[in-house]
Structure 1
Amino acid sequence: MLRAFAVRAGELTGAGDDAFFLHLDELLRLLRGDRSVLEKVPARRATYERYAALPPYPVLIVGAFDPVRWAADPARRADLYDARGPAAPVSDTVTGFPGAPGVVEGVARVLAGPEDGDRLKPGEILVTTLTNVGWTPMFPRAAAVVTDMGAPLSHASIVARELGIPAVVGTGNATMRLRDGDRIRVDGERGTVELLE
C-alpha cells in the first residue's frame, strides 16, 4: 500500500521515483506543493546506490561492521565477519544443506543469472546465488547444482532430485569461494563442495 502511495505521489507531483527517497512527512509536504524536500534526494540516492552496489553481507556478523570497508578488503569472507580479530582460515570445503544425493566431480560454472546460461556446458556444475523457474532449462545440462541460498525444499533441490543430479544448497558463500573453471567435487548427501584444484 505504501509503495502504491509513493508511486502515485511521484506521478502527481512529477517527482517520479524520487518519491521513494522521501520520508512520509516529506512526501506529504511535496503533495502540498513544497518542492524543497526534493533537495534531499540526490544525497539519499547516492547513499542507496553506494550500498546497493556492495556484495551480499556475510552470513554471520560478530561485532561492529562497516560494509564499505569490508567490501574493499580483497581477503573478505562472505561466510563470517568477526570484529574481534582474524577468523579461522577458509578451508577448501564449502558446506551447505544436502539438496539432492549423489557425488560428482567437474568444472564449476559460476553464473550470475539465467541470461548467462549459454556459458554452462553439458557436464559442468552450475554454481549460483539462487535458482527459480527461469533456471530450469539449464538443469538437464548440469552435472550438479550448488547455490548460496536455499534449503532442502528450494527450487534447486526439488528440480535436482527430479533429474537425479546432486545438489548442495544454502552454502552462503559458494559464489564467493568458488571461481569459474575450478575443479570441484559435489557431495549432495553430505552437503559439501570440495575444491580439487
Structure 2
Amino acid sequence: MLLEQARWFQQIRDDTRFLAMLPMPAMRQALLEMGRRLAAAGVLDTTADVYHLRLDELDRIGTWPPPPELASELRERANRRRARRAALARTPLVPPPPAQPPGRTHAEVLLRGVPGSAGIAKGPVRVVHGSDGFAALRNGDVLVAAYTSPAWTPLFRRAAAIVTDTGGVASHAAIVAREFGIPAVMATADATTRLRDGQEVLVDGDHGLVFRPRH
C-alpha cells in the first residue's frame, strides 16, 4: 500500500509544482502595479523596488497616497534592502569544495564542484538565469544555471551537460541529469558568473570538474 502511494505521488510531483505556481503571474502583476503607483507617488525610486518590501508592510497602506511618515519608512526600508542585495550580488551561495584535477594541469581547471551525474561531455556554454532564457539553449549546449526546478526539465533533452552554482547529488539538476544520462557538476559556487556564453568547456561529471578543452 505504501509503495503504491509512493509511486502515485512521484507521478504527480511535477504537477503539484505546476499547480502551485499558477497564481504567480497574477500576483506578480498585482505587485508590479503597486510598485508603479508607489514610484509615481515618489515613495519608491523604481517599480521593481516593490520587491524589497514585505506583504505586511504593503498591507499597512490603508489610504492613498500613503501618509508622509509611512511613505518615508517604506522608502528607507526599500532602499536599505536594495543596497544590501547589491552588496551580496557576487557572494557565492555555497563554497566550492576542494578537488584535485585527475591528470590535468591547474590552468586547465575552470571550476570545481560536486559530482552530480557521471560522464564526460564537451560543448559551448549557455548561461540561463530564468525562463526567459530557455529558448536560447541549443542542442549540444552545456546548460549553466544557479539551480534548476521541474520547469527546467525540458531543457535537459537539449543539453550536453549541466553545471550549477548550487545543489548536490539529490538536487533537481543532478537527479534529472542522471535520468537523461548526461554529466552534471553541482555546487561550483560561481559558474554563472565565471563562464560566458559560447565558451567551450569539458564537463567531467565523474570528478565534479569543468575544464578548458585541450586542442
Q: What runs of 5+ residues in structure 2 fail to find an aligned partner?
A: 1-53, 97-105
Q: Which residue identity is paired with 1:98?
A: P
Q: Which residue identity is paired with 1:95?
A: R
Match of 1:57 in 2: 91
SS of residue in 1 equivalent to 2:59: helix
Match of 2:111 in 1: 94
Residues 1:44 and 1:96: Cα distance change in structure 2 (over 3 Å): same
Distance 2:135 2:163 in 1: 17
Residues 1:9 and 1:174: Cα distance change in structure 2 (over 3 Å): closer
Shift, 1:107, TM fit? 0.5
**Structure with the largest fraction of helix:** 2
Task: Work out whether residues 161 and 184 of structure 2, in 8 Å CA contact, stay in contact via their aligned partners in 1.
Answer: yes
Match of 1:138 in 2: 155
Distance 1:90 1:56 in 2: 23
Pick aligned residue for 2:59 from 11, 14, 32: 11
Match of 1:190 in 2: 207
Distance 1:50 1:91 in 2: 36
**Structure with the largest fraction of strand:** 1
Q: Where do 1:123-134 residues align within 5 Å?
A: 123-134=140-151
Distance 2:182 2:108 in 1: 25
Deviates more, 1:181-190 or 1:46-55: 46-55
Residues 1:118 and 1:14: Cα distance change in structure 2 (over 3 Å): same
SS of residue in 1 equivalent to 2:168: coil
Distance 2:107 2:113 in 1: 15
Q: Which residue identity is paired with 1:183?
A: E
Q: What runs of 5+ residues in structure 1 fail to find an aligned partner?
A: 1-5, 19-33, 61-77, 80-88
SS of residue in 1 equivalent to 2:138: coil
Paired residues in the alignment total 150
| TM-score, normalisation: structure 2 | 0.61
Distance 2:176 2:129 in 1: 19
Identity over the aligned pairs, expressed in percent?
37
Task: Work out whether residues 164 and 187 of structure 2, in 8 Å CA contact, stay in contact via their aligned partners in 1.
Answer: yes
Shift, 1:166, TM fit? 0.4
Shift, 1:50, TM fit? 2.4
